[in-house]
Structure 1
Amino acid sequence: MGYIEELREIVGHRPLIFVGSVTVIVDEMGRLLLQQRKFPKGAWGLAGGLMELGESTEEVARREVYEETGLKLDELHLINVYSGPENFIKAENGDEFYVVTVAYFSEGDEGELNIDKAESIKVEFFYPDELPSNMVKSHKVILDEFLSKHYRDDKKKVDNGYFTNGGQ
């Protein structure tokens, strides 16, 4: 049993604050990796999850990406930290929580895509102008910021890969 499950046994469904990480992964063609999640049902989002005791946010990002996609990440670059009432979640089981989300991006990875069937329906790469409409709201905010500040849509390898120097 993990930290969150142990904590839930004590506090029940009352609102809690958790820290998590998500990662925008960009392939060599400039496409973004999304996972179609089981919760919220069928919504598309970024690979990520919640921190366990003793982890850094970078470790959370790497662990969750590996668990959910089978990919091992190279260098991580910070996009931003997101918090506040817009990051409130009520799970299907009644658990309530606010998430402080640390968002990263990475253009380098290794491994074969391997879907975690417990959490995901599928994973797929999308060009930025072809993103699905049914996205997790908080992840759409993160992707919008990433695309406006870090992504180069000319698909040319310049500066820091597909990213502007602002991503370093």
Structure 2
Amino acid sequence: MGYIEELREIIGTRPLILVGAVVGVIDSQGKILLQKRPEGIWGLPGGLLELGESAEEAGRREVFEETGVEIGQLQLVDVFSGKQYFRKLANGDEFYPVTIAYFSKDIKNSTIKIDGVESIDAGFFDIRELPEDTSPLIKKVIKQYPKMFR
């Protein structure tokens, strides 16, 4: 059982503040790596921090777990938090995410391998031609990334 599951056993569905990291991985042609989650939404690879893990470590781990792509150096883009990001899941769990967004052009291995659980598809996309079902939050995050495409 993971940290969040243990917390949920104690507090039920009450709101939590959860910290996560997402990474915009940019290839040599300036395309951004997106993953398609089982709900059918495209977004940046990322997820919640584990106990004792840095945000950078979480970003690298999540990119690898969800897409098979290995990355090195990360550069901070921005931190997204506040009541406008509040989420209530279908199971009733509530949370306020604090999302730390990074980008990386330091690709060690670009071979995409999806796990079929957290990701049902993944690929590199031109930022002017994102998939129709790209998360609105991710579109907002990507707008903060102009310096990475230079």
2:48 to 43, 47, 50: 50
Corresponding residue number in structure 2 for 1:24: 24
Paired amino acid for 2:5: E
User: For 1:42-75, what per-residue CA distance to the aligned partner results, in whole angstroms no more than 9, with x for missing partners?
Assistant: 1110000001111111011011111111122121
* Separation in structure 2 between the aligned mates of residue 71 and residue 120 of structure 1, nearest angstrom: 13
Q: Could you list the runs of 4 or more consecutive aligned residues of structure 1 that deviate by over 3 angstroms after TM superposition?
A: none
CA contact (8 A) 2:114 2:121 kept: yes
Corresponding residue number in structure 2 for 1:159: none
Paired amino acid for 1:17: I
Report the secondary structure of 1:61's partner residue.
helix
* Separation in structure 1 between the aligned mates of residue 7 and residue 59 of structure 2, nearest angstrom: 22
Corresponding residue number in structure 2 for 1:102: 100
Give percent identity, aligned residues only: 51
Number of aligned residue pairs: give it: 149
- TM-score, normalised relative to structure 2: 0.94
Corresponding residue number in structure 2 for 1:87: 85
Report the secondary structure of 2:91's partner residue.
coil
* Separation in structure 1 between the aligned mates of residue 117 and residue 90 of structure 2, nearest angstrom: 15
Any unmatched runs of 5+ in structure 2? none
Equivalent residue runs for 1:3-152 within 5 Å: 3-38=3-38, 41-111=39-109, 112-147=111-146, 150-152=147-149
1:4, distance to aligned residue in structure 2 (A): 0.6
- TM-score, normalised relative to structure 1: 0.84
Any unmatched runs of 5+ in structure 1? 153-162, 164-168
Report the secondary structure of 2:87's partner residue.
strand
CA contact (8 A) 2:112 2:123 kept: no
* Separation in structure 2 between the aligned mates of residue 55 and residue 63 of structure 1, nearest angstrom: 10
* Separation in structure 2 between the aligned mates of residue 56 and residue 48 of structure 1, nearest angstrom: 13
Report the secondary structure of 2:144's partner residue.
helix
* Separation in structure 1 between the aligned mates of residue 125 and residue 58 of structure 2, nearest angstrom: 24
* Separation in structure 2 between the aligned mates of residue 134 and residue 69 of structure 1, nearest angstrom: 18
Report the secondary structure of 1:117's partner residue.
coil
